[in-house]
Structure formats: structure tokens, C-alpha cells
């Protein structure tokens, strides 16, 4: 296996391109690159007509579509570009006349992970519409994902202490990229309400370490699971803990029940003693 010189190269960028055209059905292409590389997100007009005077809109399909690159009526128009793409995007000027509107992303990192859309609004001229309809107006989606090649650490659970009548648990895991999610679950798989959002920080190698606390109360099983996952690449690691009964603080209910039983026992004993005394006194008479 190849060893990569830079720490950033621990993350691989994997490019999945799924192009669906109404006329030709669908096709899928997969391109692999590593972080730090310049990556090309492919998109081209079919049949290949010149895109030199057209509008091509590249967006990243995040929560709000981020404007990655805009080629408007024949010129680059990046005033509204999302800040993290400043100076990072370009199209191939010499290729536009061949209908090649691929986007070059310089020095990709794990934070570039996501789905990208190449969109060419149908041009107005009727002749052009006929020529390119069915292909051009279809957005092309490229999905850029990122996985770690090095070891992702198995989540580690520790018991931190007690709070009220519950036990505070901590889960930690490192070496992740892209950014993972961390959840606490009970033994039936229900997501527990954690003590706060996950705390994440990036180490020197651009990987994420994540930590999250939860306060749990006693259950039938006392089993709890910490799950770390990267949804977009379907990657998941889990660790389970069994918290022994005696770690939980003795609950107030237990205390009250215990005291009541003790009190009842005293009363019963006293009553017996009374009866006995009375009986013995009786027999003496």
C-alpha cells in the first residue's frame, strides 16, 4: 500500500457520479482521489454543443444550496460564491466549446464532502432547445465523500460519576473524517437525550475526535450503547456498556420503602411482644 506524505492524505475523497438522462437512461461513474488533490466534477452537454455562451450553475446541495461556481451567459460570475470556495473553483475554458462544463475543485479536503449539482437552464432559442433538450436541463449530481484510511478508534465508554439518581457516562472516539455523529441509545435502540450536543475537535491530522455525555437512570438491563456514525458513507461503530446496579445511587423510593418495612417490622415485633407479655401476665394470674 502507498504511504501518503501529508497528514491530510489520510482522508480519501471518493467521487460518485450518477448521471441520469431521460433519453439514455442512467449511468454511473466512480472516480477516486485523495484529499489535497485537485478533483474534477464531470458534467457535459449531450450532444456536445458549445457551452461558451450558456449559463452553468454549480451548487453544493447542503442544507441551503451553496453557490459553488456560476458561469453566467458566457462569463464567470462568482460574486455570490460561498466563501469556502473562493479561488478554489474553475471550469476548463478551452473545453467549453465541446460542451464540457466540468468543474475543477482545487485541493479538496474532507470539508468539501457533499453532493454537487451541475445545472444548465435550458437556453431560450428554440433551435438550441431542440438540440439539447433532455440532456442539458437535467441537473447532474456528483457526490463527493470522504473516508478515513487509518484506524478509526472504537468508541470508549467510561463512567464519570453520578448525578441525582442517575449515572453519568462519557463516550469518546477519535480519528474520524468526515465529521461523525455520536448518539447514546438504550438497550431497545431508542436514542437517549444526551447531556448536550457532541463536543468535536479536529486533531493535527485533520481528523475529528468526538465526545458526548449522557445521564442514565436504572433500567431492566442497565445496558447502554454509544454509536458513532458517518451517515453519508454508511459507516458505523458502536460500544455497549453494562452499568452494575450498585453504581446507581440508592433512590429515594428505595430508601422510603426500606424505612417503611423497617418501621412496620418494629411495630409488628412490638405488638407480638405486647401480646406475649399480656399472655404471660394472664397465665400468672
Residue number with the shortest CB distance to ligand NAG? 100
Residue with Cβ nearer ligand NAG (104 or 237): 104
Give the Cβ contact number of residue 184 at 10 Å: 22
Number of residues that bind ligand NAG (CB under 6 A): 7
Question: Do residues 231 and 193 make contact, with C-beta atoms less than 8 angstroms apart?
Answer: no
Q: Which of residues 167-226 bind ligand NAG (CB under 6 A)?
A: none
DSSP state of 191: B
Q: Give the Cα separation of 224 and 204 in Å (integer).
A: 31
Q: Give the Cα separation of 281 and 285 in Å (integer).
A: 7
Shortest Cβ distance from residue 71 to ligand NAG (Å)? 14
Q: Give the Cα separation of 184 and 250 in Å (integer).
A: 24
Considering only residues 57, 89, 100, 145, which one is a binding residue for ligand NAG as defined by CB under 6 A? 100
Q: Give the Cα separation of 151 and 104 in Å (integer).
A: 30
Longest dimension (CA), the chain: 128
Residue with Cβ nearer ligand NAG (140 or 182): 140
What are residue 170's DSSP bridge partners?
158, 213
Residue 42 binds to ligand NAG (criterion: CB under 6 A):
yes
* x/- map, 101-130, ligand NAG, by CB under 6 A: -x----------------------------
The string of DSSP letters for 203-214 reads -TTS-EEEEEEE
Classify residue 118 as exposed, middle or buried by CB count within 10 Å of its CB (0-12, 13-18, 19+): buried
Residue with Cβ nearer ligand NAG (44 or 81): 44
Interface with ligand NAG by CB under 6 A: which range of 12-20, 38-46, 226-234, 252-260?
A: 38-46
What is the β-pairing status of strands 208-216 and 166-176? antiparallel
Residue with Cβ nearer ligand NAG (42 or 175): 42
Residue 44 binds to ligand NAG (criterion: CB under 6 A):
yes
Residue 92 binds to ligand NAG (criterion: CB under 6 A):
yes
Residue 37 binds to ligand NAG (criterion: CB under 6 A):
no
Residue with Cβ nearer ligand NAG (7 or 40): 40
Question: Do residues 68 and 42 make contact, with C-beta atoms less than 8 angstroms apart?
Answer: no
Considering only residues 9, 21, 95, 156, which one is a binding residue for ligand NAG as defined by CB under 6 A? 95
Interface with ligand NAG by CB under 6 A: which range of 10-18, 92-100, 219-227, 230-238?
A: 92-100
At 281, which helix (H) or strand (E)?
helix 252-284
Contact residues for ligand NAG (CB under 6 A)? 40, 42, 44, 92, 95, 100, 102
Amino acid at each position: 500500500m502507498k504511504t501518503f506524505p501529508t497528514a491530510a492524505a489520510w482522508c480519501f475523497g471518493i467521487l460518485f457520479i450518477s448521471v441520469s438522462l431521460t433519453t439514455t437512461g442512467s449511468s454511473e461513474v466512480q472516480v477516486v482521489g485523495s484529499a489535497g488533490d485537485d478533483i474534477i466534477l464531470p458534467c457535459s452537454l449531450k450532444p456536445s454543443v458549445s457551452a461558451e455562451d450558456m449559463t452553468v450553475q454549480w451548487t453544493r446541495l447542503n442544507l441551503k444550496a451553496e453557490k459553488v461556481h456560476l458561469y453566467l451567459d458566457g462569463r464567470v460570475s462568482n460574486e455570490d460564491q460561498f466563501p469556502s470556495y473562493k479561488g478554489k473553483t474553475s471550469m476548463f475554458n478551452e473545453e467549453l466549446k465541446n460542451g464540457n462544463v466540468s468543474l475543477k475543485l482545487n485541493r479538496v479536503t474532507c470539508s468539501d464532502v457533499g453532493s454537487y449539482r451541475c445545472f444548465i437552464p435550458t437556453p431560450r432559442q428554440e433551435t438550441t432547445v431542440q438540440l439539447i433538450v433532455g440532456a442539458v436541463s437535467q441537473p447532474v449530481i456528483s457526490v463527493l465523500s470522504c473516508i478515513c484510511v487509518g484506524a478509526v478508534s472504537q468508541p470508549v465508554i467510561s463512567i464519570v460519576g453520578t448525578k441525582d439518581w442517575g449515572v453519568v457516562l462519557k463516550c469518546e472516539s477519535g480519528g474520524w473524517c468526515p465529521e461523525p455523529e455520536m448518539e447514546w441509545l438504550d438497550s431497545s435502540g431508542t436514542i437517549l437525550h444526551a447531556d448536550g450536543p457532541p463536543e468535536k475537535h479536529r486533531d493535527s491530522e485533520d481528523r475529528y475526535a468526538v465526545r458526548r455525555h449522557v445521564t442514565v437512570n436504572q433500567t431492566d438491563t442497565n445496558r447502554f450503547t454509544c454509536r458513532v456514525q458517518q451517515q453519508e458513507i454508511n459507516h458505523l461503530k458502536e460500544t455497549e456498556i453494562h452499568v452494575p446496579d450498585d453504581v446507581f445511587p440508592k433512590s429515594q423510593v428505595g430508601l422510603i420503602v426500606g424505612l417503611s418495612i423497617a418501621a412496620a417490622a418494629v411495630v409488628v415485633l412490638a405488638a407480638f411482644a405486647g401480646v406475649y407479655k399480656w399472655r404471660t401476665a394472664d397465665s400468672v394470674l
